[in-house]
Structure 1
């Protein structure tokens, strides 16, 4: 354990050298250049330091829970959709649940936007350092470049789904970045696709699940193509992951989110003492005498079919003061003094079956789509569907299965409702304040005040 923390401290020191600006940055991505122009070249002067620099990026991502890539995408979009609600008032988070977010909401700026661009900038520093280095071995350089491209693509995927059109910062040039306008959603997706295809060419398949691999890029590409409505490519990428037989659906739902889970495609290891997964720390009560901070909505609880094992395995309850609170229990550890047993699961196999099912249904291959859906239902202890349903019925079943299988997980429900044009009809019932513009989060006011070419999303002017 002592050696692990020494490595973490070393990586954090390198990370601070690479992104010394991120804590004090006042503009979108306009930052001061490092005082020592040789700093980054020194960091990428050998294999060990280059590896530590990229590991420092992962540590930075995992350092704070409720942030962009560490619990934040499960929490805030879950509140915005019809999955989660707080058990007591906190104005900044209640704005997500009420779909009435102020442009000066600190969470929108610090936990999401600022964090995302800090990670992206560090990705760009790593890419430029690796490209310029003649001292890092070719094999490692290629692997690290692929890993960093994967992370940058992941960041832009969530940015574009939260905010819509966003600036594409692809370098460390402060003057250029300070003047970046918002790029269209289509342009952002094109960049995501390009980064992932390049990562797919660079990465290996035989790495541990805590490292981005070729399978991780294919899994994320499958999702990206689904969102782009490129049904053929979505099915192709999902099939590449499924047919590799490197992953399998867990027989026991209680094992899905364990660190050695058989269906985990990619996960980040925790770095903070006593904390396993951010979701466990966020959703699981600290003791049996303390009510959970977040509970599942009645709408979600009522959507489970009778006999669904996901209801008994992934939902837990606690009675406090005569009130029963139901909360997510996919991750089960609040804190622990022992070695972590749950990691930050980013991609898993069940989603790939549902992606392929939807892509096949959209291509009128209903029979195969139902077979994939039934793989998920069988694991959940539910009866299988007939393959003789219509296309519309099949798509409805897929929406329902995604809702239950992926609840409180990486914003899937929120993004699904938006991409399928179902947000207005489903979320309009949450309250009279709902408008179509609420499907996007506001660009933080802090950014608009310092970035001259940034424009606000409609409805927040």
Structure 2
């Protein structure tokens, strides 16, 4: 009989030290509960899903806590690290032996495996119909979220759809289209199964609109412009979500712009609100950050842009003043006031703007400009002219996505790669140049050694 297990809490060691073990563990660690028992009670079953969120954001320097945002921001032109730890990413000189690459692969698969356990456990359970639909929807949403980052980082990855561990550890890679088809189906199912209401007073468990928000992004990346527009419009039309005029409220746990957030569940460092804030904010009010926004990016902000004054801060060292990202303001403090914001409303306006601009419809091009002006109005900079041609609108979208989403979840890197703009942009802004091969993120040799059927990224 196939063994099934569900993780309630996952140790940091199991996420960071893979050695040459398989990326999907066959034996249950001591802190797991057999799925057959976990899914006999609504509350216990719900706690298994909550445990996935805990493992996603419980420790610093992990895929979903801060690592992906940091590495992809450095690989693009958002910000860089002043010390040498991430130089391979800054110089776009990644090798299969480069540090941290294994985490970008292995940790999403840990969460995918947990989601597969939930989906199978719920399907064979006697849980209430409502709880079944909600938990299955959440698991499919998280699974789609993880596959989205796997496929956009590594192009071809194994498609693990069940809990057959020994089979899955020897899977070859599926095509990018196959992965995207699976993501789209998971999110479509999640939209159908998730409640429109949040499960509790905060936005830390995805609801129907969170699934639609991610689905709108997936449609955009696949150039399904009409579907991207319609899906983003469904999210924008929900009056629970607003574009607040106060930029300093956007990343609070009470943010009206937030669609989905991750709450830090931390047991190692007192007072952590978000791991990004903990890593980037200086330890004292007069101290220095280890992070610096690229000069070319700072120069893109227009005069009076509140995003520069509210979301960037400065420090001076060696007589030189540097900007560092400061969307999250708190390094450590209690009570907690900031959550890691994963999906927010501004992105939906930017998705809709790009989708409208690409439909070669003059009326929709004007609507795209209006969407951009919603974001620019909040930043307190002048509206764009309604008479801009398509090429200029697309460049304006690229710029607004860069400045609005700076440092968030690798947006800048994935945007440049998917629009074929990485080489022309980064070859100018990177001191050591940038070529087409630099767009390929290698699969870690640690991962390649676990499965003879895996092939290096082309």
TM-score by length of 1: 0.91
Distance in 2, matches of 1:381 and 1:211, equals 32
- The reply to whether residue 123 of structure 1 matches residue 120 of structure 2 is no
Q: Which residue of 2 aligns with 1:7?
A: none
- The reply to whether residue 184 of structure 1 matches residue 178 of structure 2 is no
Alignment equivalent of 2:26, drawn from 22, 25, 32: 32
Deviation at 1:352, TM superposition (A): 0.4
Alignment equivalent of 1:101, drawn from 90, 94, 101: 94
Q: Which residue of 1 aligns with 2:74?
A: 79
Q: Which residue of 2 aligns with 1:372?
A: 371
Alignment equivalent of 2:344, drawn from 348, 356, 359: 348
Residue deviations 1:121-170 (CA, integer Å, cap 9, x gap): 11111111111112x22111110110111111110111111111111111
Q: Which residue of 1 aligns with 2:272?
A: 275
Matches within 5 A, 1:15-94: 15-16=9-10, 26-34=20-28, 39-90=34-85, 93-94=86-87
Deviation at 1:433, TM superposition (A): 5.8
- The reply to whether residue 330 of structure 1 matches residue 324 of structure 2 is no
- The reply to whether residue 425 of structure 1 matches residue 421 of structure 2 is no
Alignment equivalent of 1:213, drawn from 207, 211, 214: 207
Instruction: Confirm or deny: 8 A CA contact 2:20 2:449 kept in the other structure.
Output: no
Deviation at 1:449, TM superposition (A): 1.6
Matches within 5 A, 1:236-315: 236-272=230-266, 273-315=270-312
Instruction: Confirm or deny: 8 A CA contact 1:448 1:456 kept in the other structure.
Output: yes
Q: Which residue of 2 aligns with 1:446?
A: 446
Distance 1:232 1:297, change over 3 A: same
Deviation at 1:235, TM superposition (A): 0.3
Distance in 2, matches of 1:261 and 1:455, equals 43
Instruction: Confirm or deny: 8 A CA contact 2:274 2:338 kept in the other structure.
Output: yes
Q: Which runs of 5+ in 2 are unaligned?
A: 1-5
Instruction: Confirm or deny: 8 A CA contact 1:21 1:31 kept in the other structure.
Output: no
Matches within 5 A, 1:363-442: 363-364=359-360, 365-429=364-428, 430-432=430-432, 434-442=434-442
Q: Which residue of 2 aligns with 1:9?
A: none
Residue deviations 1:180-213 (CA, integer Å, cap 9, x gap): 1111111111111011000000001111411100
- The reply to whether residue 149 of structure 1 matches residue 145 of structure 2 is no
Alignment equivalent of 1:167, drawn from 158, 167, 188: 158
Distance in 1, matches of 2:451 and 2:388, equals 51
Q: Which residue of 2 aligns with 1:6?
A: none
Instruction: Confirm or deny: 8 A CA contact 1:276 1:334 kept in the other structure.
Output: yes
Give the secondary structure class of the aligned counterpart of 1:133: coil
Give the secondary structure class of the aligned counterpart of 1:326: strand
Instruction: Confirm or deny: 8 A CA contact 2:137 2:193 kept in the other structure.
Output: yes
Give the secondary structure class of the aligned counterpart of 1:316: strand
Deviation at 1:34, TM superposition (A): 3.8
Distance 1:356 1:28, change over 3 A: farther
Deviation at 1:27, TM superposition (A): 4.3
Distance in 2, matches of 1:13 and 1:122, equals 6
Root-mean-square deviation over aligned CA pairs: 2.1
Query: What is the aligned length?
Result: 441
Distance in 2, matches of 1:264 and 1:202, equals 21
Give the secondary structure class of the aligned counterpart of 1:319: strand
Q: Which residue of 2 aligns with 1:361?
A: 357
Distance 1:106 1:35, change over 3 A: closer
Distance in 2, matches of 1:388 and 1:31, equals 57
TM-score by length of 2: 0.92
Q: Which runs of 5+ in 1 are unaligned?
A: 1-11
Distance in 1, matches of 2:129 and 2:75, equals 45
Instruction: Confirm or deny: 8 A CA contact 2:24 2:168 kept in the other structure.
Output: yes
Distance in 2, matches of 1:52 and 1:29, equals 24
